[in-house]
Amino acid sequence: MNESSMKLRNGTNKAKITRSSSSSSRIRKISKKRIKEKEKEKRCICMPQRYGPVEFPVIWTEFRNNNQLCDGVIICEDGVELRVHRAILSAVSSYFRAHFTNILNGGIPENTEARVNVPSSIFMKILDFAYTGHCKIEGGTVEILLRTADQYHVLGVIQLCCQYILDQLQPTNCLGILRFARHYFCSDLEKKGKRYIRHNFVKLLNEGNEFENLCINEVVEILEDDELNVRNEEFVFEAVKKWVDKDPNERKVHILTLLKCIRLGTLSFDFISTNVMKWNVVAESQECREYLMDVLVMMENSKDVLLDANNPLTRPRVPYDILFAVGGWSAGSPTNFIETYDTRADRWLLSVDTDSIPRAYHGLCALKGYIYMIGGFDGNEHFNTVRCFDPINHKWKECACMYYPRCYVSVVMHDNKIYAMGGYNGRMRMSSAERYDPESNQWELIKPMQRQRSDASAAVLNDKIYIVGGFNGHEVMSSAEVYDTFANQWTFIPHMLSARSGVSLIAFKNTLYALGGFNGFTRLTTGEKFTPGMSAGWASIAEMFSPRSNFATVILDDLIFVIGGFNGSTTINYVECYDTETNEWFDAAPMNLNRSALSACILSGLPNARDYSFMGRSNKEVGQGAGMHQEVSV
């Protein structure tokens, strides 16, 4: 059996762009102007900008401990006198430099004594930093230490305090820390605190009571944020209820303001009429009832909600998780297109960040905010190359090559390393496996699998790597095996119910799901699941709407998404999602391109997530389909 029949198309000629000398001069002027403007921007000193290890001579600490060569005294508010070396303290504090050298009062003899209005136990931490480059920071004293460091201009201690506070961020304290940052004008800490609140809003509501104690302006600021991480606006309504119910008599006057923070146009008609309008504080307010009736009339008059970035009722949030679908086989040739899926808007968006090399049957994984594309096939060459995409800077770069070319490769990420297993090198199906360490930019071979597997699929569950199905050059396989990453050992697990090549395996909530594929005769709609340590074998699940092989699979919003693929006669752009709790499949918006042999991954919490979302594009750029591309297959 052939795994694929592919056609290679000649690439289109690239247009050459010339630039006149006058336009070049203009660009240089603009660049210089931007540089000057950037230099004028005031940078916050709270968080380290170029913070690296600095060597502090041990002899300084010896001099301090032995009171040797000391030439200054710090008198604390509790009367304790601390002998210091004025040069060392001045090196970390512009305040003490000015005080000891009298640079502000030229001609007056230098000071050798300074009084500080802080306890000696706190100022000793400042001295610890001055002499060693570090100091012990604790939750009970971090506030007064930060205040002291700010008062006496000890930048390094300010940075250490802010980093400590940032590391302590939790849903139960993040709002208090945000207020703390604002009080001390720590703009970077405030920015990161706001981001944490946006990203962890649902946990904040469920795990603490800080939200209930906010003032109305703080509540509105949070709920109006485009990047608030909520699956739907029902969570925002529950947040409004929770805040108002804390003190309904005092807070119900704000209910209309809060209702306008909810993007009601994205909720269902039934939810608004049943849940929102029947809430007692809403039912008692004529202006709230009138506002909601206008919303319901608008929804009744339009069959489909039209997302509009300028309409506060239908403006979608920017998603926390961005789905990237990369490469694949489309219209008879490999493609280098990237599409991103905005789950809040249920829209696919074509990205301008295309790679220079079209490829299909590759592996893909996300690691530390980067996307790694492993191996693949361009219709002519089987790749051992690895490409890395930086979504923040929108740049691709080459990484170290694998030992072997691999298309139809199975790729997973575990413990910050990338594993590439099996595949086809252009001559034979492979059992070999290797792993990549991005820190060292090196690949190493690991123990080979017990079976040759090409067009198989792998997933990680509980520190073990599972791989199922595939094609060995003679037959489609139902066998499965597991790799113990600690013991470097492969072991067989129960066979799947069906042989599957071009299958997708994904792990979710301690269970493995094997979906779709080709059984040697037809493309499959079936799926099956296996829970290691609990299941005796694989069990069937509900069938997908569309048969498919060589498709992509991800977990998004606690649902399993299946994307594209080949249905036996053509590539498809259909997308479905599976609810493991209800054992049901649902339709999602289709991709813009029909394609199979693609790969997909999720990047979470990107600071520039808007770039890849509906909100980052004009309505003209947001298409919902680019037609069906017919092709002979896979």
Specify whether the CB–CB gap between 530 and 539 falls below 8 A: yes
pLDDT at 48: 52
Quick one: angle between helices 58-65 and 120-132, nearest 10?
150
Q: Is the pLDDT of residue 32 over 50?
A: no
Is the pLDDT reported for residue 41 higher than 50?
no
Strand order in the sheet with 539-541: 504-508, 511-515, 527-530, 539-541
176 confidence band (pLDDT: 50, 70, 90)? confident
pLDDT of 39: 41
Q: How many C-beta atoms lie closer than 10 Å to residue 221's C-beta?
A: 14
CA distance 454 to 597: 13
User: Rounded to whole angstroms, what are the CA distances from 56 to 88, 156, 190?
Assistant: 10, 14, 31
Beta strands 113-115; 72-75: pairing state: parallel
Is pLDDT above 80 for 149? yes
Closest CA to 455 of 402, 532, 385, 377: 377
167-203 as b/e, with b when 16 or more CB fall inside 10 Å? eebebebbbebbebbeebebbbbbbbbbbbbbbbbbe
Fold held by 214-301? 1.25.40
Average pLDDT over the chain, rounded to an integer: 87
Cβ atoms 204, 197 nearer than 8 A: yes
pLDDT of residue 391: 96
d(CA 34, CA 48): 24
At 624 the pLDDT is 41
What percent of the chain stands above pLDDT 70?
87
Half-sphere exposure of 441 (CA within 13 A, CB side): 9
Count other C-beta atoms under 10 Å from residue 465's C-beta.
Answer: 25
Q: Which one, of 595, 579, 598, 576, lies nearest residue 587 by Cα?
A: 576
Whether 30 has a pLDDT exceeding 70, the answer reads: no
* pLDDT given for residue 105 in this prediction: 61
Average pLDDT of the segment spanning 570-583: 97
Q: Which of 365, 359, 457 is nearest to 405 (CA)?
A: 359
Q: What is the pLDDT of residue 619?
A: 44
For 302-311, the CB contacts below 8 A with 24+ separation are 305/265, 305/266, 307/266, 307/345, 307/347, 307/614, 308/619, 309/614, 309/615, 309/619, 311/265
Bin 379: left if φ > 0, else alpha if -120 < ψ < 50, else beta.
Answer: left
pLDDT tens track for 62-113: 888 888 899 999 999 999 999 999 999 999 999 999 888 876 666 677 888 9
DSSP 561-583: EEE--B-SSSB---EEEEETTTT
**pLDDT of amino acid 104:** 61
Q: What is the pTM of this model?
A: 0.81
For residue 394, the tally of other CB atoms under 10 A from its CB is 12
The conformation of residue 412, written as its DSSP 8-state character, comes to: E
Lowest mean pLDDT among 150-159, 214-223, 615-624: 615-624
pLDDT of residue 103: 66
Comparing C-alpha atoms, which of 527, 489, 520 is closest to residue 505? Answer: 527
User: Tokens 């304790």 — which residue?
Assistant: 80
Could you give the CA distance from residue 313 to residue 113 in angstroms, rounded to a whole number?
A: 64
Beta strand ranges found along 502-541 (DSSP E): 504-508, 511-515, 527-530, 539-541
The residue length of the chain stands at: 634
Stretch among 515-519, 527-531, 543-547, 604-608 having the lowest mean pLDDT: 604-608
Q: What is the DSSP annotation of 309-338?
A: TT-TTT-PPPPSEEEEEE--EETTEE---E
| Spatial distance between the Cα atoms of 230 and 200, rounded to a whole number of angstroms | 9
Nearest to 51 by CA among 207, 124, 127, 160: 160
Q: Which residue type is seen at 619?
A: N
Tokens of 613: 């979302």
Q: Is the pLDDT of residue 45 over 70?
A: no
pLDDT band of residue 7 (cuts 50, 70, 90) is very low
Superfamily, domain 58-168:
Potassium Channel Kv1.1; Chain A (3.30.710.10)
Q: What is the pLDDT of residue 24?
A: 36
The residue with tokens 């001390």 is 184
- Give the integer Cα–Cα distance in Å for 402 and 417: 13
| Secondary-structure breakdown of the chain: helix, strand, coil percentages, each rounded to the nearest 5 | 30, 25, 45
- The CA-CA-CA angle for residues 192, 193, 197, to 5°, reads 115
| Token pair for 103 | 């640079």
> In whole angstroms, what is the distance from residue 137 CA to residue 357 CA?
50
* pLDDT over 90 at 258, yes or no: yes
pLDDT confidence tier of residue 55, bands split at 50, 70 and 90: low
Spatial CB neighbours of 228, under 8 Å, sequence gap ≥ 6 = 198, 201, 222, 236, 317
Reported confidence tier of residue 556, pLDDT bands at 50, 70, 90: very high
Q: Tell me, what's the pLDDT at 322?
A: 97
pLDDT digits (tens, 9 = 90+) for 339-395: 999 999 999 999 988 877 899 999 999 999 999 999 999 999 999 999 999 999 999
Mean pLDDT for the stretch of residues 454-461: 98
Report the phi/psi class of residue 441: left, alpha or beta, with left for phi > 0 and alpha for psi in -120 to 50.
left
pLDDT above 90 (res 2): no
pLDDT, one tens digit per residue, over 192-251 is: 888 999 999 999 998 888 899 899 999 999 999 999 999 999 999 999 999 999 999 999
Q: Is the pLDDT of residue 27 over 60?
A: no
Q: For the chain, report the end-to-end CA distance as a whole number of angstroms.
A: 11
Q: What is the pLDDT of residue 56?
A: 78
Q: Higher-confidence residue: 163 or 423? A: 423
Cβ atoms of 309 and 315 closer than 8 Å: yes
Mean pLDDT of 406-426: 97
